[in-house]
Structure 1
Amino acid sequence: MAAETRFMADVEACVDAIIETVGRDVVLGMPLALGKSHHVTNALYARAKADPDMSLTILTALALEKPSPSSELERRMLEPMVDRIWKGVPDFDYMKDYRQGRLPDNVKIREFFYKAGSYMNMPEAQQEYISSNYTHVVRDLEVNAINVYCHIVAKGEENGRLMFSDSCNSDLGRDVIAYMERAKAAGRKVVHVAHVNRHLPFMYGDAVNGPEVFDMVLEGEAMHTPLFSVPKASVAPADHAIGLHVSSLIRDGGTLQIGIGALGDAIADSLILRHEHNDVYRNLLADAGIDEQYGDLVDSLGGRAPFEKGLYGATEMLVEAFLYLYHAGILKRKVYGSEPVQRLVNEGKLAERVHPEALALLLGEKPFYPMLTLEDFSLLQHYGLFREELVYDDFSICESSGHRWSADMRDGAYRKEVAAALCGDSLKNGVLLHAGFFIGSNDFYESLRTMDKDERKLFSMTGVDVVNQLYGDEKLRALQRKDARFINTGMKLSILGNVCSDALEDGRVVSGVGGQYNFVAMAHALKDARLIMMLRSTGFRGGKTVSNVVFSYGHTTIPRHLRDMVVTEYGIADIRGRSDREVIARILAVTDSRFQEGLLKKAKDAGKIHPHYMIPDAFRDNTPERLNALAAKYKKQGVFAPFPFGSEFTPEEQILGKSLRGLKQSLAKKKWPAIAGILSGMVKPVPEAVLPYLRRMELHEPVGFKEKLLRSVVIHALVSGGSLDTAAVRQAAGSPGRMKSRVAKATAR
């Protein structure tokens, strides 16, 4: 604990105090993603740039950067979006210099997780990467001897006392506080800095701390800057198909962990379809071949019916999709922080409406039996099993009337009498979700900020040491996380079941391990849990389509002895406990058909599958054409929408983004035909339908040859990509009917 917390309003004075305390060798730790303080970091970096004798090492993950253009066309596309979506959000000065190769020699950047692909061609970043499980991050910060930890917090008042919430980043909070205490006890000079930002929602759970845990609290009007937004990604038909398969593996009454991005949104969208439009969902399962090929697996592990019991979220990241599941009435299974209470809930003996019989059962079990202590009484009262007005005093439970009940619970008849007289009405303080951190869109932050306090408490922020593993409270966490489905994403999959998720085979880091191994290990440790590894079956590299399912790969994140379930857009491969021959056959069944035979031949040449084995006919039509036909059939019903939960991009921007990405692929595949189409377009009339898009790009009245060429590029991208079709324009913003129903539900709540 801090000896005396210093409250400060000036960032330069704060940095003066930091350097005065720890010296000019500063090792700064910052949270992953949103929780960083731009102001303190930029001020420290400015000092280091100005003073070559000062040393600054920054340890963090996911340094957030606004998109920057690399061409004139990108500039026209990006500048209005950046001004609208990230207006007022500061930049990290060190990142701008880092990108341009101008980082001073006395400054070092080390990260344990990257935005996917962001540092592929930066040797310094590749060399300074720290590979670490998320649960080991604070341990590794300690190895690197951080002496400053700084993060943004929300400020509030609880029971008349000033309190702070780690809000978006409780992931490392408890471990950092413990580390600071150990360092100070050992005589080290360390500083814990909280920077208050009123735009953060005040979140509860383990995120809440008093001011005494911080050495400095920094708050000034200029430092209440907007939060960094991550706009929702578009969801392609293949992503929707993956989400559809996964949604059928989720058991009602179970536990869900998903991540950010298109695949997480696809899963949530299919789960909502299953719950709200079950007839459409069942028809889709049948048309997609899921019933025929995986019906038995769905029956044993998941389900097709709407959610009656609902789901609980135990997730490293609170993603916006969970709020949509909540408003749809799917995220509704509450858990409680008491092992005996949670066990009775799981057994169906204790429900939201409390009955005296349940309280009597609890009073006959340890730790409440044989003598109820103050701690025991307080716990049961906290969860609503004892009435709120009761008081514990000197081994007695006292009513407001003055009647006293002995806390001795050895007699069964007496326990029933106590329960009948003192039982509460309903369970309280349950939690719908535990998470370690969050980041998302501006709408997401606003939703959390404007939630009623009691509603916000349903989303409990805690450390990754809690949510990413079982250690420390295994029995309770196992009870809470029943029928868990831990869903992660891989980049490459070998036909023997090895998964590569974080780096290329030449060693270059794409993203990081993060918490993936933690969830893999937990899925195997919990008897009723399953790991679902999602994989897009193909990618686009070097101007051609390549298979993400390979015979072997030179880097592995999750080894094959930890294999479980793999889901691609073409199906489900249940490979837990299977022989190599079975694993190969099942993985080939979910591989893009353009690559199946080549992989099968390699397996046969290696003697890993029978020489006469043939891929069954049912799995020989794994093609994008089949998926696109399925998507076209259901888009009229609001399914397979590119933005199922809305977007911060305008409809024009959504269409332009898709079209320009398609043109980039066309140029990579067939360069000269695409160029010919662009040049010929310069002398053709401008279609009226493209005018809104040209106005958005400020190319509707081109001046000079360069602007006319850019206009032709945009027109060719729109026309060749089929983006001018009215239905395509409508679908870009999602299905109006489904979106309106979701907005209405959210507003009603």
Structure 2
Amino acid sequence: MTSISAKQKLTSTQRIIMNKFDSPKAAVDKLIQTVGKNIIMAAPLGAGKANHILNEIYLRAKNDPSINFTLLTALTLQVPKAKSFIEKQFMGPFLQRVFKNYPNLTFENDRLNQSLPDNVKIIEFYYKAGQFKDNAYGQQNYLSSNYTHVARDVFNRGVNVICQQVCHGSIDDEAVLSLSCNPDISIDLVNLLKANGREFVTIGQTNQDLPFMYGESIVPLNFFDILVDNRELDYAVFAPPKMAIPDVDYMIGLHASSLIKDNGEIQIGIGSLGDALVYGLGLRQENNDLYRKVLKELEIDRLSFPVIEQCGETEEFNIGLFASTEMLVDSFASLYQKGILKKKVYDSVILQRLLNEGEISEEFDESIFDVLQQHKAISQKLSIEDVEFLKEYGIIRSGINFQEGRLITQDNQILSNDIHELDRNLVIGERLRNGAVAHGGFFLGPRSFYDFLKDLPVEERKLFRMRKISQINQLYGHEEIDRLQRVNGRFINTCMKVSLNGQACSDALEDYNQISGVGGQYNFVAMAHELPDARSVLQLRSFRTNAEGKLESNIVFNYANCTIPRHLRDIVITEYGIADLRSKTDEEVASALIQIADSRFQAMLISQAKKANKLPNNFQLDKRFTNNYPQRYLPVLKAFKSQGLFKPFPLGHDFTQEELEIGKGLKKLKALQSNKIKFYQFLLSAIFSTGKKSKYQSHLKRMNLDNPQNSKEKVYQKLLLKALG
């Protein structure tokens, strides 16, 4: 790499903002002047990318072959594109409203088209699901890495620039910056670069649309060497809209909700499966009798699934849950608002241990000094370190100071530092402070989630503490506090396939097509086996419809791609039930998985397992599990839907009422297109139908089809009216 000159070299203790710029162009000029034309850049996944800077660098490299630009990142997000005429009519106004002025990354279209210039390389460790399926460039430039190893792998590839989007704020009247949604890799990577004496430059762009977050997102101004700071460049943070929860996901979420224990810790992934779980937990908390009735009628019980009795609960939450999750998904906001995500943890080993053991509580009295002294957390005669510790956690008031072996109150009273002589009423606080209900590595979600975070009072927002990923996804280096905080851990993730030996595939297909990425899944699964009362839960739909329109089982005899190995098998959930695979033999594992497979594939799976000697020849499937068809649970859900339960968007959405109804009609049209005969019958019926136009005038106007200008638009108007009717 091109080295920074001795004059420009920055030490780890003397980093200052080299320059603050109004434009990305001027900032990139300075960057190239500083590091040269060999730029190996790391940028955060998801919403933390500084798009204007990245676009400027890519433009330079595209126009100047002497610049070598490598970008190491993940989860590159673009505003979706409509393809057909009807999609454009529907999505155009919606996308403009939801994504506003979000600037797409200019390299992404070239990458998707496999037309990047030779001097540019984009390497990612996690793709948006399916984005690069059958794309040669994407398949060849995927970096398979556990999330906790990404900083190491990026470092090993010679990174010399870190680029990130940040926001302004202040703490105690001191100006600071917040890495907001992405301290995950940045903090670990900076620490690694400094520890190895690597020369590097940090370049950032401020964007006040980001929520100002605390914890390890807070960095001093001198964290960045180059900063683009211009309010005219602020843009809407990428906000993927909420998706509807299908019935199959509701079933999976209900099963999972029965495994979450009060006074526990939870990790949830993104998407409708996570939302379905959160909905189930909300129902369990707010209407427990109805929740239990739902479980009973769906036969989600301890008889069929003993693991519910062994490690689950179905009662309301009293103490509540704590979240430690790589991705702080928006559904955690719902858990917080419903009084489920309310268990606070503290980054003090002694305090957390005493809380766990019931020796102290968050609300305390004067005796807390004696308890802490007995457990050697403080001395009888308080030192300055003792006083700072007690102030940090609110045990004594923040205005108390230590001077020459005495305590000084805000009104200048001088008090003894001996806890047996101290007038504790003059110094004691009201309750523990600086706790957190959630630790998150990064976040991404709909606009409502960002607004939720921004609207929280500061003290509540601090309850959602952002951390570097090495503190979230593994126990190493901070194991003692993690074991105390992560009591009854439930690490809930999704996968694509599970084979009958218990191994799971979550990120790539059997033909090695990379679909998404490993991310932190392996880390959390492994962690569940290291914590004594934790469980790993992998969720998947029992079957899928393939490209040829045929059904195929997602529980298979064998699969050539493995994300989670068989020796880390634990709990697997489909819409038909829960398979507890921990500590089980191969026969027991195969049997448990077949029990939650779709019944259309059970005979085949049993035959394959018998042939491989994994099931005895006389094996018979328990009759309780021989009716695994959607028709078993759909009528039950339908009955509860009539009572207002299991709505498509229970946690909110970004659509207008007309858009919801139009979307339902468009789904009907799309489903019909898989059968040409049925589609043409529907089309003919639509063309010759009359009426309904006045009833759906607002819908037609929303689609700009209220006054069709040509025969094509007239046909689409007829089709839409028919689909809406």
After TM superposition, the score normalised by the length of structure 2 is: 0.94
Instruction: Return the match for 1:404 from 416, 419, 423.
Output: 416
* Higher mean C-alpha deviation, range 229-238 or range 537-546: 537-546
Deviation at 1:512, TM superposition (A): 0.2
Task: Find the aligned partners of 2:323 and 2:121 in 1 and give their Cα distance.
Answer: 37
Deviation at 1:557, TM superposition (A): 0.3
1:698 aligns with 2:704: yes
Deviation at 1:172, TM superposition (A): 1.4
Give the equivalent residue in structure 1 for 2:587.
581
Unaligned ranges ≥5, structure 2: 1-11
Give the equivalent residue in structure 1 for 2:162.
149
Count of matched residue pairs: 708
Q: Is the 8 A contact 1:543 1:665 kept in 2?
A: no
Instruction: Return the match for 1:26 from 28, 34, 39.
Output: 39
Task: Find the aligned partners of 1:193 and 1:638 in 2 and give their Cα distance.
Answer: 50
SS in 2 for 1:356: coil
Task: Find the aligned partners of 1:113 and 1:471 in 2 and give their Cα distance.
Answer: 23
Instruction: Return the match for 1:709 from 699, 709, 715.
Output: 715
Matches within 5 A, 1:8-23: 8-23=21-36
Give the equivalent residue in structure 2 for 1:81.
94
1:322 aligns with 2:323: no
Instruction: Return the match for 1:475 from 475, 480, 501.
Output: 480
Task: Find the aligned partners of 2:272 and 2:585 in 1 and give their Cα distance.
Answer: 32
Give the equivalent residue in structure 2 for 1:104.
117
What amino acid maps onto 2:600 in structure 1? R
Deviation at 1:685, TM superposition (A): 2.3
SS in 2 for 1:290: coil
Deviation at 1:49, TM superposition (A): 1.2
Instruction: Return the match for 1:114 from 124, 127, 133.
Output: 127
SS in 1 for 2:176: strand
1:664 aligns with 2:674: no
1:251 aligns with 2:261: yes
Against the structure 1 CA distance between its residues 48 and 277, is the aligned structure 2 distance closer, same or farther, given a 3 Å change threshold?
same
Q: Deviations over 1:623-674 (max 9, x none)?
A: 1122221211111333211100111022333333344345434433x33222
Give the equivalent residue in structure 1 for 2:188.
175
Q: Is the 8 A contact 2:266 2:322 kept in 1?
A: yes
1:356 aligns with 2:366: yes
1:95 aligns with 2:100: no
1:625 aligns with 2:625: no
Identity %: 40
Task: Find the aligned partners of 2:369 and 2:660 in 1 and give their Cα distance.
Answer: 55
1:675 aligns with 2:666: no
Q: Deviations over 1:439-465 (max 9, x none)?
A: 111111111112111111111011111
Q: Deviations over 1:25-47 (max 9, x none)?
A: 11121000000011100111111
Matches within 5 A, 1:534-553: 534-541=539-546, 542-553=548-559
Deviation at 1:101, TM superposition (A): 3.3
Give the equivalent residue in structure 1 for 2:514.
509
What amino acid maps onto 2:478 in structure 1? D
Q: Is the 8 A contact 2:407 2:414 kept in 1?
A: no
Give the equivalent residue in structure 2 for 1:223.
233
Task: Find the aligned partners of 1:687 and 1:603 in 2 and give their Cα distance.
Answer: 56
What amino acid maps onto 1:641 in structure 2? K
Task: Find the aligned partners of 2:333 and 2:701 in 1 and give their Cα distance.
Answer: 35
Q: Is the 8 A contact 2:359 2:371 kept in 1?
A: no
Instruction: Return the match for 1:640 from 643, 646, 650.
Output: 646
Q: Deviations over 1:382-405 (max 9, x none)?
A: 112233343233455455421222
Deviation at 1:584, TM superposition (A): 1.1
Deviation at 1:70, TM superposition (A): 1.9
1:71 aligns with 2:84: yes
Q: Deviations over 1:264-314 (max 9, x none)?
A: 111111111111111110100111101254564323322122111111111
Task: Find the aligned partners of 2:277 and 2:50 in 1 and give their Cα distance.
Answer: 33
* Higher mean C-alpha deviation, range 655-664 or range 372-381: 655-664
Q: Is the 8 A contact 1:523 1:531 kept in 2?
A: yes
Give the equivalent residue in structure 1 for 2:533.
528
Task: Find the aligned partners of 1:709 and 1:123 in 2 and give their Cα distance.
Answer: 39
Q: By percentage of residues, which structure has more helix?
A: 1
Against the structure 1 CA distance between its residues 657 and 632, is the aligned structure 2 distance closer, same or farther, given a 3 Å change threshold?
same
Q: CA RMSD in A?
A: 2.0
After TM superposition, the score normalised by the length of structure 1 is: 0.91
Give the equivalent residue in structure 1 for 2:390.
380
Give the equivalent residue in structure 1 for 2:153.
140
Against the structure 1 CA distance between its residues 77 and 557, is the aligned structure 2 distance closer, same or farther, given a 3 Å change threshold?
same
What amino acid maps onto 2:394 in structure 1? G
Give the equivalent residue in structure 1 for 2:500.
495
Task: Find the aligned partners of 2:369 and 2:573 in 1 and give their Cα distance.
Answer: 44
Give the equivalent residue in structure 1 for 2:16.
4
Task: Find the aligned partners of 1:605 and 1:643 in 2 and give their Cα distance.
Answer: 45
Give the equivalent residue in structure 1 for 2:566.
560
Task: Find the aligned partners of 2:345 and 2:378 in 1 and give their Cα distance.
Answer: 20
Against the structure 1 CA distance between its residues 46 and 471, is the aligned structure 2 distance closer, same or farther, given a 3 Å change threshold?
same
What amino acid maps onto 1:100 in structure 2? N
Unaligned ranges ≥5, structure 1: 408-413, 725-749
Q: Is the 8 A contact 1:346 1:479 kept in 2?
A: yes
Deviation at 1:223, TM superposition (A): 1.5
* Higher mean C-alpha deviation, range 430-439 or range 687-696: 687-696
Give the equivalent residue in structure 2 for 1:453.
458
Task: Find the aligned partners of 2:721 and 2:599 in 1 and give their Cα distance.
Answer: 34
